[in-house]
Each structure stands twice: as C-alpha cells, then as structure tokens.
C-alpha cells in the first residue's frame, strides 16, 4: 500500500516553527496545510472503504470455495461408494481447485486487513496533525488579534494626546508671538511700573524734605536781630 501523506510529518516537525517565521503569511500557510491534511484524510478514508470492501468480498469468496470443496469431497465419497472411481477422481480434482482459490482469497483478505490497519493508523496520525495545525492556527490568529488591538489602543492614546499637544503648541506659539511683538512681557511691564512708582515716591519725599529745610532756614533768618 502506498504512503498517503509522506511529507506531512516533515511539515509538522520541529522545522515548521522556522518555516512559519519565514512565511509572509503564517496563518495562510497553516490554512493551506490544514486543507491539505483534510484532502489526504478524505482520500485515506475512501481507500480504507475500498480496502474493507475488498476484504469482505475476499472472505466471502473463500467461504464459498471452502463450501464447494466440502461438497466435492462428499461427491467423491458417493462416487467411490458406487464404484465410480473416475467420478471420484474428478470430484477430488474440483475440490483441490476450490481449496486453492479459497486459500488465495484468504491470503488476499489478510493482506487487505493489514492495509486497512495501516490506513487507520495514518488516519489517526492525520487527525492528530489536524488538531495540532488547528491549535497553531488559533494561536496565530490570537496573536494577530492581540497585536491589532494593541496597535489600535496605541493609536487611540496617541489620538487622545494629540489635541492636548496641539493646544500646548498653540499656547507656546502665541506666547512667542507676543514676545516678538512686545519685548516686555506682562510681568516685566508690571515690575517696571512699580519701580517707576517707587522712584517717583522717593523723588517726592526728597522734594518735601528740601522744602522743609528751606522753610526752617527762612524762619531762623527772620528771628535774628538787625
């Protein structure tokens, strides 16, 4: 019996991980492998059905020939009982022919049984391989989904941060424009105004002091005798 899927085991060996890493689309590769396994399994089941039918027909043929061999043996005995050795000889010849056919049919049935067992073992192996491929497909799709969700979440966070960044940039641009237009900021202008007010107050205080000194000096001159 031919090997149904000789390269499937190689594909599912430890080297498949490297093949998946090098694949442009690992999920597509696994889907194709899964489909190939299904195709082999369908053909194996069809071959198993044909093998079982062949075994059944061979067993039936062997049983029929063995029954005919018994009948020819009985006829040979009858012929000898009637002193017909020629008929007995012919009956025994037919019996030997039936036994030969029955033996050949039994051997073919045994071979069919062996092949059926091999096919069933292959089907079990392919079922295990399909389970493994299905598991790998689910893991690969889960990984893709997780990566996609992470990318969407990252894009969402970036999108939420962007308006705040834009507003901050607008404020910085506005402040820079004001500095370009007026070298003195509001705080610097307010500080300058207070300094000017303090200087004015000091000047006024000094002026009042001078006036007071002048008035005191004039009063002293008037009180001195001529």
Q: Is 183 exposed, middle or buried (0-12, 13-18, 19+ CB in 10 A)?
A: exposed
Q: Is 136 exposed, middle or buried (0-12, 13-18, 19+ CB in 10 A)?
A: buried
Average pLDDT over residues 189-198: 70
Q: Are residues 166 and 199 in the same domain?
A: no
Does residue 103 fall inside a structural domain? Answer: yes
Does residue 183 fall inside a structural domain? Answer: no
Number of domains composing the chain: 2
Q: Are residues 81 and 140 in the same domain?
A: yes
Token pair of 28 as six digits: 């597509």
Q: Are residues 141 and 207 in the same domain?
A: no
Considering the chain, what is the average pLDDT of its residues?
A: 78
Q: What is the pLDDT, as a whole number, of residue 2?
A: 47
Average pLDDT over residues 83-90: 92
Q: Are residues 25 and 64 in the same domain?
A: yes
Say whether pLDDT at 1 is over 50.
no
Percentage of the chain beyond pLDDT 70 is 67
Does residue 116 fall inside a structural domain? Answer: yes
Q: Are residues 114 and 82 in the same domain?
A: yes
Which domain range does residue 199 map to?
190-219
Task: Identify the weakest region by mean pLDDT among 94-98, 120-124, 132-136.
Answer: 132-136
Q: What is the pLDDT, as a whole number, of residue 109?
A: 95
**Spatial distance between the Cα atoms of 191 and 188, rounded to a whole number of angstroms:** 5
Q: Are residues 18 and 102 in the same domain?
A: yes
Note the pLDDT tens digit of each residue in 21-64: 566 677 787 788 788 888 888 988 999 999 999 999 999 999 99
If one compares 216 and 44, the residue with the highest pLDDT of the two is: 44
CB neighbourhood size of 108 (10 A): 17
Helices (H), the chain: 8-11, 15-22, 26-81, 85-181, 186-223
**Spatial distance between the Cα atoms of 99 and 147, rounded to a whole number of angstroms:** 71
């Amino acid at each position: 019996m031919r090997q149904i899927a000789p390269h499937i085991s190689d594909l599912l060996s430890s080297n498949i991980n490297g093949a998946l890493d090098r694949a442009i689309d690992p999920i597509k590769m696994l889907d194709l492998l899964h489909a190939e396994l299904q195709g082999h399994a369908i053909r194996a089941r069809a071959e198993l059905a044909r093998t079982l039918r062949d075994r059944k027909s061979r067993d039936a043929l062997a049983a029929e020939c063995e029954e005919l061999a018994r009948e020819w043996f009985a006829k040979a005995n009858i012929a000898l009982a009637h002193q017909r050795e020629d008929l007995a000889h012919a009956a025994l010849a037919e019996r030997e022919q039936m036994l030969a056919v029955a033996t050949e049919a039994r051997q073919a049935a045994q071979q069919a049984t062996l092949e059926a067992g091999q096919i069933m073992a292959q089907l079990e192996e392919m079922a295990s391989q399909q389970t493994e491929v299905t598991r790998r497909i689910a893991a690969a799709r889960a990984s893709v989904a997780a990566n996609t969700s992470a990318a969407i979440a990252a894009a969402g966070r970036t999108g939420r941060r962007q308006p705040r960044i834009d507003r901050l940039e607008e404020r910085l641009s506005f402040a820079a424009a004001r500095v370009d237009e007026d070298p003195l900021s509001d705080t610097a202008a307010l500080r300058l105004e207070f300094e000017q007010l303090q200087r004015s107050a000091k000047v006024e205080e000094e002026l009042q002091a001078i006036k007071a000194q002048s008035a005191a000096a004039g009063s002293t001159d008037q009180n001195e005798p001529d």
